[in-house]
Amino acid sequence: MVRIVVDAMGSDNFPTPDVEGAVQAAREYGVEIILVGDEAIIKPVLNAQNAGSLPIRIVHAPEMLTMEDKGEKLVLKARSKDAKNSMAIGIDLVKNGEADAFVSMGNTGAGMVNALFRLGRIRGVDRPALAPIFPTATGTCIVLDIGANPDCKPENLLQFGILGSIYAEKVRGVNNPKVGLVSNGEEEGKGNELVKGATPLFKASKLNYFGNVEGKEVIGGKVDVAVTDGFTGNVMLKSSEAVAKLITDKIREIIKKGSILTKIGGLLVKPALGEIKKLLDPSEQGAAPLLGINGLVFIGHGRSDAFAMKNAIRVAKQAVDVNVLEAMKSAIEESMRSAPHI
């Protein structure tokens, strides 16, 4: 049975959505759940879920990390062998082989720093990357990095491409994923120095390299993996979410203020709008994998609800089932043999 650690203190409204989603996942996906956090706070919420004989247990962590934990203060907490916060204790369960994956809706920076110091990187990977799923005209696209690494080198982008390609193939079920470099133009030679420096590395790799892609090509479904630095990726993510929310909010506003015929039309298109909302809703994927870490770590939005947590656990289980971590290690090892400069 796959064992998933859940940071029960992660979401903005902890521990209710974290625990409720974990119980739903245990029922639906047949996974063992380890809830990590303040037992006195978690236990009443768990008892209210009528979990019965479900394979769920609590590991007590008396402390938690918040958005206030930054910089040197965060690093010191992450590096401490005696750390008592829910992220550190939960990630250590994965490190010690007591669990297969870790899921948190907490502070992204804290999740990355704890994972980095406690699990380490896959050999040959300089920096881990956060890799969410973007909806596209033809399905989905993995975009990485979206915030973990604002400044990158060309070899970092190649590593992101390798990791993203393996994840797309193994977890998303994409055969021979097309990989593109996010740029301000489709033509080779366009882009900043980072993109220009990465282009020959991608062309010489064994990736199914598509070439440069603009934002419209990413959303248009031209590639399965879009590679960029964390600064650009974060702007893409936040802008896409904001535009999606603006469009859906404006449609509701127009229907609400419209005539009787407009309101009737709104009722008729409500099912279609529901499908669009589902497509754009990040909670459908639940959490993004932190690729390049020597362990399976998934980080979601702080505002996540139980539905998002349940889906995050589903995605984590899929990654465990297909042994994606070992596949990424093998791919990076192969790239190192063929290109020693990486």
So what's the pLDDT on residue 277?
Answer: 62
Fold (CATH) for 133-282: Isopropylmalate Dehydrogenase (3.40.718)
Q: Taking the domain 3-129+285-329, which CATH number applies?
A: 3.40.718.10
pLDDT in the model for residue 221: 94
Name the residue ranges covered by the structural domains of the chain: 3-129+285-329, 133-282
pLDDT at 340: 45
Can you give the three-state secondary structure of the chain, one letter per residue?
Answer: CCEEEEECCCCCCCCHHHHHHHHHHHHHHCCEEEEEECHHHHHHHHHCCCCCCCCEEEEECCECCCCCCCHHHHHHHHHCCCCCEHHHHHHHHHHCCCCCEEEECCCHHHHHHHHHHHHCECCCCCCCEECCEEECCCCEEEEECCCCCCCCCHHHHHHHHHHHHHHHHHCCCCCCCEEEEECCCCCECECCHHHHHHHHHHHHCCCEEEEEECHHHHHCCCCCEEECCHHHHHHHHHHHHHHHHHHHHHHHHHHHHCCHHHHHHHHHHHHHHHHHHHHHCHHHCCCEEEECECCCEEECCCCCCHHHHHHHHHHHHHHHHCCHHHHHHHHHHHHHHHCCCC
Average pLDDT of each block of 10 consecutive residues along the chain (342 residues)?
A: 96 95 96 97 94 94 76 68 89 97 92 92 94 90 91 95 96 95 90 94 95 94 96 90 82 83 73 64 81 96 92 96 96 78 46
